[in-house]
Structure 1
């Protein structure tokens, strides 16, 4: 079963995020209080724990949820294989996949600190269709 491992937040974009007990996600905005949120197509970023494990296996130590600046760390779902337009029910929310991967910007704090970034190939972005609360342990359902 696919589930949420962690909700992660930071006030500014492109930095390591801090895990929180739960997050409030607002329609057409994203995670309330997060620097990544706003009225655009990349409101929420998601990365699978399995992708983080790949980096650990490459020899990158001390990787935990939020280190790749993802808002939601997941488990049990291959995010980067979901077609754009796929809708997901996560906690109380409904989200729509808008982008797979991204180009790392120059001076990316994640790449500089971790040495490599997996977000460009395995991270995904969504927009919030229906707002609500998400917490660790919530299920993820492909609609």
Structure 2
């Protein structure tokens, strides 16, 4: 079963996101309280715990949810293998539509400086909020 491990927000872009107990997702906007929310195609970012674990094996042991600036940390789903346009239902209400796979890593990426690599450009995904609602850690993720 695929599930949400953590929901993370940051008030400023370029900072590590902090976990929250409840995420309020707003249709065509993103995650309320997050600096990346807005009317664009990268409203919400997702990264699998399995991807974070790959980086841990490269020697960075202090990686936790939100360190890659992802809004939703998942488990049990290979996010980066899903095509753009795939819809994901999170919990009972929230529906996201994948809008982009990966992104260019910014020059100040601390993880890339330490290991020579960063997983977010290849395995992080971005989505738009199609249906808003509440999501929490532990919620099931369903591919629609």
Structure 2 match to 1:11: 11
Q: Which moved more, 1:10-19 or 1:72-81?
A: 10-19
TM-score (norm 2): 0.94
CA–CA separation in structure 2 for the residues paired with 1:109 and 1:72: 20
**Judging changes above 3 Å, is the alpha-carbon distance between structure 1 residues 51 and 24 closer, same or farther for their aligned structure 2 residues?**
same
CA drift of 1:74 comes to: 0.1
CA drift of 1:105 comes to: 2.0
- Check conservation: 1:16, 1:109, Cα contact below 8 A: no
Structure 1 match to 2:143: 142
TM-score (norm 1): 0.94
The alignment of Structure 1 onto Structure 2 pairs a total of residues equal to 143
CA–CA separation in structure 2 for the residues paired with 1:81 and 1:24: 26
Matched residue of 1:12: which SS?
coil
Q: Which moved more, 1:40-49 or 1:104-113?
A: 104-113
Structure 1 match to 2:64: 64
**Judging changes above 3 Å, is the alpha-carbon distance between structure 1 residues 13 and 65 closer, same or farther for their aligned structure 2 residues?**
same
For residues 11-58 of structure 1, give each alpha carbon's deviation from its aligned partner in whole angstroms, at most 9, with x where no partner exists: 112221001111100000000010010000000000000001001111
2:29 pairs with 1:29: yes
Matched residue of 2:100: which SS?
strand
For residues 81-115 of structure 1, give each alpha carbon's deviation from its aligned partner in whole angstroms, at most 9, with x where no partner exists: 00000000012201000000000122245645786
- Check conservation: 2:97, 2:130, Cα contact below 8 A: yes
RMSD of aligned Cα (Å): 1.5
Matched residue of 2:139: which SS?
coil
Structure 2 match to 1:50: 50
Matched residue of 1:121: which SS?
helix
Segments of 5+ residues of structure 1 without an aligned counterpart are none
Structure 1 match to 2:131: 130
Segments of 5+ residues of structure 2 without an aligned counterpart are none
